Structure 1
Amino acid sequence: MNTPHVVVVMGVAGTGKTTIGPLLAARLGVPYAEGDDFHPRASIAKMSAGIPLTDEDRWPWLDAIGDWAQGRAGLGGVVSCSALKRSYRDRLRNAAPGVVFLHLTGDRALIEDRMSHRKGHFMPTALLDSQFATLQPLERDEAGVAVDVTGSPEEITARAVAALAELPEPAA
């Protein structure tokens, strides 16, 4: 991967988007943006209360992430965003056509265990089932790769870098 992609690190809560995203950005030499920082306060309050977001709640968040990704077109960047549904990824692609997705995948029990040990995050473990129910994995026609989250953050990042290197160069 010579020309920088804008990579959206996606997956259900607890897969390590916030851990892997900065590591990946450092390995690629591009900026990282934390997707949670783009959420409106009302959405964070809903999730903190254990209430899943609706699509209507997510549109402004996805638009803000899409704007950031568009601003990084040709420069590269990494941003975390659950991007659980195809329609969410389509919205991001509409805003920033060159984005690629890194789908962090893993066993539900492993992800739940990791979520139960993290501190200071607004997403409760109780919402994990709704995340898995909503998840629509990447389809064959979507630019991106899936990487298993078993192992250390460094191992996961190395697998991600190798998988992303296999993607075609972004269009100029």
Structure 2
Amino acid sequence: MLLSDSGGALFIDYGYDMSTGWPAGTDRAARRPWLASLPALKRDFGVTSVEVVLGTHYHDDHIAGLNLLRDVEGTEVWLPENVALIMADPMRTDLPCQWFEPIPADRVLPLGETVRWREYDIVTHELLATRSTPPRSNSRWTACACSRRGTSRPRKGGWACSGRS
């Protein structure tokens, strides 16, 4: 999560909210995203709204909650160009661990270009497949680097996010 000085938040991925435990059932319907962690984020960290969620790749444990955030919080969904089409029409492809529900992008992020959100610059980059990644999913993974505008350092705590499971 990036937290703006304004209190707005940008989430990097939002899959299953496990703060209340694992769902009781093994079927797909039991693995629904939850919003249980949002009140604590608002209370403990001063989050006033979840303005944007950036999905890094198509795996359900990273993106299952994107549409729910959009519906409940009014959150914009930003997706890198290398995964936007897959997430918009998941039944068209046969890739491992895909979320079954289409997730259309409110904004498609070009790879390698800087986009601005509040006081942050964000750049998405394509990741190459690894030995543990099926060859079919090559070029479907994204890493993003985020830095506070006007500095060369990441926000307090420093981080770069990876969309690799």
Which of structures 1 and 2 has the bigger CA Rg? 2
Higher helix share: 1
> Which bracket does the TM-score occupy, shorter chain normalised?
0.3 to 0.5
Give the TM-score normalised by structure 2. 0.37
TM-score by length of 1: 0.36
- Higher share of residues assigned strand: 2
